[in-house]
A and B are shown apart, each in its own frame.
Chain A
Amino acid sequence: MNVGQQLINGLVLASGYACVAIGWTVLLGAARLVNFAHGQLYMLGAFVAWAAMDRAGLSYWASIPVAVVAVGLLGAAMQRLMGRLMLEHNLTSLMIVTLGFGYVVQGGAARIFGGEPHQLQSPLARGSIRMGELWLSGQDLLVFAVTAILFTLVWFALERTRVGATVRAVAEDPKLAQLFGIDASLVYLGVFVFESATVAFAATVVAPHSPILTSMGFDEVILTFVVVVLGGVGSVLGTLVASLGLGLFTAFFGALVSPAYTTAAAFAVVLAVLVLRPGGFAAK
């Protein structure tokens, strides 16, 4: 086994997980809401970008904003429908509602885009960078760079700006925040749209790695969910650390033991951690 190459593979996997997870982390931190449609929104982002390129003839770069805006708008519509449940903080119902939405998105996408696998073509996927024996594609580098920039921006926005302070206030205590004149429902709408838009963005840069199918849904992002919970609910840095750990674990387990059982092994580790520390690594 080439340790250096597996290290690179692990880092690429990790930045993919982190990129898909960031919106979820913010949503979970601010609203304690789990969006079980996250996987289907990821799928939709990839398919909207594919359709924009394949059917409308846009370039890869032009298709990214199309996917981000389209899925962001869908996210806004979903949030408006769930508005009352969100203010009631009815978490059980919200979880099931998002599961239902995900199922609708999956059925709808299969109707519109068909059931065949497609490939989101990125001009960077072909180009490769070699350093001696080590190898990575231009797309890998893009995912890496995008994730680094995204995490820096989100961390800065949450910790250093007024908007971030507002979101954190609502996360801490929605009723108290409202007493101070903060519109909690507006904050919920904002974080939900942010989550939908970033997962679509993540899909456009991560999905070119493998064929896309309308049936790929929750299972495609379940590892991301794991990252979010392991990192500690709402912790941006925790998400990054958990992604790194999981990415490296997946790469080395796949190479050393068995690729077929990689997901199962990752979950076994996660189960063990959650049994010992239900709040994740960041829990005090």
Chain B
Amino acid sequence: MSGPARAAGRLAALAVLLVLVYEMPRWLGGSVLVYSTCVTVAIFSVMAYGTDMVLSYLGEVSLGHTIFWAGGGYVAALLATRLGANGWATAAAAVAVALALAVVLGLATLRTREFVFSLVTYAAAVVAMEVTFNWAALGGSDGIIGIPKLTLPLPGGAWSGSSSAELWPVALALLVLTVAFIHRFRRSRLGLAALMVQMHPDLAATLGLDPRQVRLRVFVISAPVSALAGWLYAYQRAYVGPDMYESYFLVLMLTAAVLAGRRVLVGPVIGTALILLQQNYLSLGGDGDRIVLGLVLAGILIFWPQGLVGLWRLATRRRAEGR
């Protein structure tokens, strides 16, 4: 097949896949739980992609992405409740605020690596949580309630919705855009530079790459990804609170990033979907789910560092060799 034909074929396959995924919750019964699970999987995957960018392409563990996640949610909540801003405005503001926060945190951590980087990002998250918890303008410990439904003015008239079933197209669109963004990033000069700096620091230096610049840029562009997830989460729950800083989200982001395998394009989606299916349909209670999530996170890295995709490859290779 020629190049353009193959590209067209791939595009058509993608379009079919997209329609299938879009219709999936309806085929699964279309209950409230199905829709809310699907929307939450989409939102949490997008959230995890932010951490995944730093983990997979820089090899660092950011424990501070809850700041951007909560930041996106709070910006949406504040602008929507106080100013009545529409969805486009709140999303743009969430991205802007996340970029600003990430530049500050990125510059502060410019010279730190490994566990010092993790410590500083975590410390920043603790500071952000404490400020949010005590600042009356941000609702303090109560958070912000009564977020209006998401309204997106479009050329053909405004779209609006608040239930999970109504939000599903938006959540899916956000997820698709995020995956496209990550795909683009992986092939971009910055994405390649990041991998080079992580895997072959000496070679990167020979090529004249400044590791600090690369690290700062990747960190900064990863922030709005998690922030947009927080933005939609605020509309889904119609509420934001300091609970968005909870370590649950942190552990979930990291588990989603490693479960399917690092540097796998749709890895975080698969990881998030598996985790949420267990929590929503096979729950062992809050503490039991914690044990499962922790065991999955530790177990994957100890026994199958390549993740489920690595396991799959191993199995198929064994079968091929057996033949």
Contacts and interface: CB of A to CB of B under 8 A. Distances in A.
A107 B123 contact: no
Given A95-B115, A104-B295, A107-B290, A271 B130 contact: no
A217 B287 CA distance: 14
Given A34-B118, A104-B291, A263 B254 contact: no
B130 A261 contact: yes
B107 to A, nearest CB: 8
Interface in A255-283: 260-261, 263-264, 267-268, 270-271, 274-275, 278
A218 interface: yes
A229 B287 contact: no
Given A97-B302, A229-B119, A271-B120, A110 B134 contact: no
B297 interface: yes
Interface in B80-137: 108, 110-116, 118-120, 122-124, 126-127, 130-131, 134
Contacts of A34: 115, 118-119
B134 A96 contact: no
B130 A264 contact: yes
B288 interface: yes
Contact of B111 (A90, A92, A222, A275): A275
A85 B298 CA distance: 11
Contacts of A225: 119
A93 B116 contact: no
Nearest to A35: B115
A94 B289 CA distance: 22
Given A91-B114, A111-B288, A225-B119, A104 B298 contact: yes
A267 B59 contact: no
A268 B127 contact: yes
Given A107-B291, A278-B116, A267 B126 contact: yes
B247 A103 contact: yes
A216 B253 CA distance: 21
Contact of B301 (A97, A102, A261, A275): A97
Looking at chain A's contact residues, the main secondary structure is: helix
A172 B191 CA distance: 34
A28 B290 CA distance: 27
A170 interface: no
Nearest to B248: A103
Given A92-B59, A95-B118, A103 B108 contact: no
Contacts of A82: 302
A99 interface: yes
B75 to A, nearest CB: 20
A222 B123 contact: yes
Nearest to A102: B294
B216 interface: no
A155 interface: no
Contacts of B115: 28, 32, 34, 91, 95, 229
Contact of A110 (B110, B127, B258, B287): B287
Interface in B211-263: 247, 250-251, 254-255, 258
Interface in B21-47: none
A218 to B, nearest CB: 7
A226 B108 contact: no
Contact of A100 (B120, B127, B298): B298
B297 A267 contact: no
Interface in A211-237: 217-219, 222, 225-226, 229
Contacts of B60: 92
B291 A85 contact: no
B120 to A, nearest CB: 6
B48 to A, nearest CB: 13
A230 to B, nearest CB: 10
Nearest to B299: A100
A217 B126 CA distance: 13
Contacts of A92: 55, 59-61, 114
B148 interface: no
A231 B166 CA distance: 53
B294 A107 contact: yes
B269 interface: no
B257 to A, nearest CB: 9
Given A91-B114, A96-B61, A103-B294, A226 B119 contact: yes
A28 B251 CA distance: 22
Interface string B272-307: 000000000000001111110111111101100100
Contacts of A84: 302
Given A95-B118, A103-B293, A85 B287 contact: no
A106 interface: yes
Most buried by A among B55, B110, B295, B302: B302
30 contacts: A32-B114, A82-B302, A90-B305, A92-B60, A92-B114, A95-B115, A96-B297, A99-B297, A100-B293, A100-B294, A100-B299, A101-B294, A103-B247, A103-B293, A104-B295, A105-B294, A107-B290, A111-B288, A111-B291, A222-B122, A222-B123, A225-B119, A226-B123, A261-B130, A264-B127, A267-B127, A271-B108, A271-B123, A275-B110, A278-B113
Given A107-B288, A110-B290, A219-B126, 17 more contacts: A85-B301, A92-B60, A96-B297, A99-B254, A100-B297, A104-B294, A106-B294, A107-B287, A107-B290, A108-B287, A110-B287, A226-B119, A260-B134, A271-B108, A271-B124, A274-B112, A278-B111
